[in-house]
Structure 1
């Protein structure tokens, strides 16, 4: 055999897509695993012509599932971000959009037995330790993908998947404010460094000479902005205790501006070397929390909700995303949980093939 076949389910999860694997079907050592994932995606080519990646970061993501040994969780979800061209695999971050497909994928793989009407899938995000409760539609014990729920960035409608995120504070750095400050200044740009579901560096769009309402293409074409942003991100990453982040997709970067389309606040999210076409689920939690926290760079950009839970509507490049934030405000802001509604759809399943020279299989 010149190729090794690996069982997979190919799914759209939220506004991302990628292969979902049962971890038992993959190599266990990290170095070989990375090589397999590079081959699966076709990393190293602009359009991933020799793999199933889509040539953009939202379609070069991988989910690996396994039964959980956590007393609370049903399923462990291990995430990998594979680069489009640089042949890099980053196992540090997680992805909330891909997580949207974990519930149905776990049912598809037989890791979770569906209930009648609705199935609750308890997920441990291995990369960050977060706990997520996903409610998946399973009428008469069968997965349902069609429905009336629309999310910005995805055409049409599908069955709703309700996600409740817990334990997301300090997911990567161990601290809500990794630098210990509500605001820091790097390269003359004032930022808030925050770690909620995803470590982020958040700034005001105006401080970069931007409106915050630019299209994805307009931002991607502004390479001077990306150069300035990357310089800020690297310094902030070091200050957050994350070391040299030049080869890591974290911390992510976000911009804030006053809302203009009826939302709570306008946002743009970066992956970080290109503009996200819509909004990351993890990033939305961090940005919403930043918006609600007094003293951050969000001050003056919104009329801040004061009662909990607060429905924070983030305007982004493709529309809006709503984050229901349960919090307490005593002497300081405390996040309890964040909830979002997403959708997912199974696109294909079967075997994905990698050269035997990459991995001969178990």
Structure 2
């Protein structure tokens, strides 16, 4: 199998990033590709690029967004370990920082000085995020000194903000309509 991909550590996760033009458009075919590439039917993912942990078996498919004001769309995939399946309903902020850096490095978003803003939409959830990528000197950096809790090695600084995060799953900031509520158990 030969499919172009880029391995990025975002925060405390590792994520393989794929350009949408290089992978199948159908979800079933894409899932088959990821299960095969990660070796996801094996609990140690020995015959694939997966790391046999939830933080090292992630992927995202990135492409230009048709949505006004959004630079890139990405489909996040949490690849199962030993299950031969992929979970498609969530998001990962760690991988989103990698998506922002990838979008700048691949020329999907033009560099705008020392900090480059990337507006991203997670197509799984509809969440819109902003990444602020360190492009000091007007260039993409491949190495950096920024660390986050849980990591020892540095990386390129990418700030992340979720736009309008309230109610992403339930549709409401307060799902029951009340700020505080006693629930009998």
| TM-score computed with the length of structure 2 as normaliser | 0.90
Structure 2: 5+ residue stretches without partners: none
- Seen in structure 2, the aligned counterparts of structure 1 residues 14 and 183 have a Cα distance that, compared at 3 Å, is farther
Structure 2 counterparts to residues 209-248 of structure 1, below 5 A: none
- Seen in structure 2, the aligned counterparts of structure 1 residues 159 and 31 have a Cα distance that, compared at 3 Å, is closer
Deviation at 1:31, TM superposition (A): 1.0
Q: C-alpha distance in 2, partners of 1:41/1:148?
A: 29
Deviations 1:65-84 (A, max 9, x none): 11011111111121011111
Aligned counterpart for 2:126 among listed residues 113, 125, 129: 129
Aligned counterpart for 1:119 among listed residues 104, 116, 121: 116
Structure 2 counterparts to residues 141-290 of structure 1, below 5 A: 141-178=138-175, 182=180, 188=185
Q: C-alpha distance in 2, partners of 1:31/1:144?
A: 35
Q: C-alpha distance in 2, partners of 1:94/1:171?
A: 11
Q: Secondary structure at the match of 2:5?
A: strand
When the two chains are superposed, the root-mean-square deviation of aligned CA atoms in Å is: 1.9
Structure 2 counterparts to residues 19-98 of structure 1, below 5 A: 19-98=16-95
> Would you say the 8 A contact 1:18–1:53 is kept in 2?
no
Q: C-alpha distance in 2, partners of 1:137/1:106?
A: 13
Aligned counterpart for 1:16 among listed residues 13, 21, 36: 13
Deviation at 1:108, TM superposition (A): 2.5
- Seen in structure 2, the aligned counterparts of structure 1 residues 32 and 117 have a Cα distance that, compared at 3 Å, is same
Deviation at 1:146, TM superposition (A): 3.5
Matched pairs, number: 184
Q: Secondary structure at the match of 1:80?
A: strand
> Would you say the 8 A contact 2:79–2:86 is kept in 1?
yes
Q: C-alpha distance in 1, partners of 2:133/2:6?
A: 17
Q: C-alpha distance in 1, partners of 2:182/2:47?
A: 43
Whether 1:100 and 2:89 are equivalent positions in the alignment is no
Deviations 1:124-158 (A, max 9, x none): 12112222111111133321244442211111323
Q: C-alpha distance in 1, partners of 2:156/2:79?
A: 28
- Seen in structure 2, the aligned counterparts of structure 1 residues 177 and 37 have a Cα distance that, compared at 3 Å, is farther
- Seen in structure 2, the aligned counterparts of structure 1 residues 27 and 184 have a Cα distance that, compared at 3 Å, is farther
> Would you say the 8 A contact 2:101–2:158 is kept in 1?
no
Q: C-alpha distance in 2, partners of 1:74/1:159?
A: 20
Deviation at 1:180, TM superposition (A): 5.2
Q: Secondary structure at the match of 2:137?
A: helix
Higher relative contact order (CA 8 A, sep 6+): 1
Q: Hey, which of these two has a bigger chunk of strand by percent?
A: 1
